[in-house]
């Protein structure tokens, strides 16, 4: 439907125009962003339909990506949007982020370059406000066995324990691993601590016959690969 509707209840609309019925009949791909968001909201408030409330949210944040990693302060000026509705939206965004990890693991995606891992992790890690560390476990054919969180730290620091990473790799029968962490500042310059950790992990990997393929630092739309730069 192309015309703007007045702020009336969605139940008064023709059935084919209601977001939930439209999704069931035509599939989720047929819905606009505001219609998808309206389904999460379920109801509007004070004479404002769920679809109108969804439009207000999208007008404020512009994209679903901008809605991620927000807190209560970012939503407080949107009248009629209680904590339950915000929780539904944030849960849906988190499901979307995790889907790519699950897809890569379930499909045993083959990794041939740092960019293959960056394509999986960048959407989830580029906007985080604190450092987070992930480990990608690979089999002998460089296919993804699992992607797991190793550590979450403050905005300045996340240093996973090398022993635990190697132990997990052995438990998963991984032949090799790739580590990745984000820099919330967006600056992908490696720190002295990043270099120290990479060397310690590489040495431990050699001792336990687990290859450390790469250590990747993720920024905002860019990344640094220790392997690509010949530092691993």
Residue 92 and residue 28 share a domain = yes
**Domain of 220: which CATH number?**
3.40.140.10
* Average pLDDT across the chain, whole number: 83
Point out the domain boundary residue: 39, 67, 97. 97
Q: Is the pLDDT of residue 171 over 70?
A: yes
How many domains does one find in the chain?
2
Render the burial of 182-191: b for 16+ CB within 10 Å, e for the rest.
bbbeeebebe
Percent share of the chain, pLDDT over 70: 86
Q: Are residues 145 and 50 in the same domain?
A: no
Taking 50 as the threshold, does the pLDDT of residue 92 lie above it? Answer: yes
Tens digit of each residue's pLDDT (9 = 90 or more) over 62-80: 888 778 777 778 888 888 7
Cα angle: 155, vertex 116, 99; to 5 degrees: 70
Q: What is the pLDDT of residue 15?
A: 55
* Structure tokens that stand for 89 in this block: 């939206």
Residue 187 and residue 119 share a domain: yes
Same domain, 52 and 86: yes
- 81 and 166 share a domain? no
User: What's the pLDDT score for residue 178?
Assistant: 94
pLDDT in tens, 8-56: 566 666 555 678 888 888 888 888 888 888 888 888 777 778 888 889 8
Mean pLDDT of 135-157: 83
Q: Are residues 197 and 123 located together in one domain of the fold?
A: yes
In a domain, residue 232? The reply is: no
User: Pairing between strand 132-138 and 144-152?
Assistant: antiparallel
Same-domain check for residues 114 and 76 = no
**Residues 219 and 130 occupy one common structural domain:** yes
Given this model, what pLDDT does residue 4 score?
A: 44
> How far apart are alpha carbons 97 and 92 in whole angstroms?
9
Does 162 share its domain with 76?
no
Residue 126 forms part of a structural domain: yes
Indicate whether 132 and 200 sit together in one domain: yes
| Domain assignment present for 5 | no
pLDDT of residue 2: 40
- State which residues form the domain around 219: 108-225
- To which H or E segment does residue 36 belong? helix 33-41
102 in any annotated domain: no
224 near 188, Cβ under 8 Å?
yes
Structure confidence by residue, pLDDT tens digits, 189-216: 999 999 999 999 999 999 999 999 999 9
Same domain, 128 and 88: no
Q: What is the pTM of this model?
A: 0.61
Q: Which phi and psi (to 5°) does residue 136 adopt?
A: -105, 120
* One-letter-per-residue 3-state SS of 41-96: HCCCECCECHHHHHHHHHHHHCCHHHHCCCCHHHHCCCCCCCHHHHHHHHHHHHHH
Alpha-carbon distance of 198 to 49, in angstroms, equals 53
Residues 79 and 121 in one domain: no
Quick: pLDDT tens for 211-223.
999 999 999 889 9
In a domain, 132, yes or no: yes
Does 203 map to a domain?
yes
- Assess whether pLDDT exceeds 70 at residue 228: yes
CA distance 144 to 147: 8
């Amino acid at each position: 439907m192309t015309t703007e509707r007045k702020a009336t209840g969605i139940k008064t609309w023709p059935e084919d125009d209601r977001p939930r019925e439209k999704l069931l009949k035509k599939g989720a791909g047929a819905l606009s962003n505001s219609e998808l968001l309206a389904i999460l909201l379920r109801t509007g408030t004070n004479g404002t339909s769920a679809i109108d409330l969804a439009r207000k949210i999208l007008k404020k944040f512009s994209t679903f990506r901008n809605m991620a990693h927000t807190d209560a302060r970012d939503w407080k000026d949107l009248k009629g949007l209680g904590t339950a509705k915000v929780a539904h939206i944030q849960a849906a965004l988190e499901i979307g982020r995790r889907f790519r990890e699950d897809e890569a693991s379930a499909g045993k995606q083959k990794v041939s370059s740092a960019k293959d891992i960056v394509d999986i992790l960048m959407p989830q890690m580029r906007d985080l406000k604190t450092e987070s560390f992930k480990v990608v476990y690979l089999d002998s054919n460089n296919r993804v066995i699992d992607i797991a969180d190793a550590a979450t730290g403050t905005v300045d620091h996340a240093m996973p324990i090398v022993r635990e990473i190697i132990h997990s790799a052995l438990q998963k029968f991984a032949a090799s691993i790739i580590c990745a962490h984000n820099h919330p500042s967006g600056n992908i310059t490696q720190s002295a601590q990043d270099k120290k950790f990479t060397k310690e992990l590489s040495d431990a990997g050699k001792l336990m016959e687990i290859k450390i393929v790469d250590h990747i630092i993720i920024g905002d739309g860019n990344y640094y690969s220790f392997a690509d730069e010949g530092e691993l």
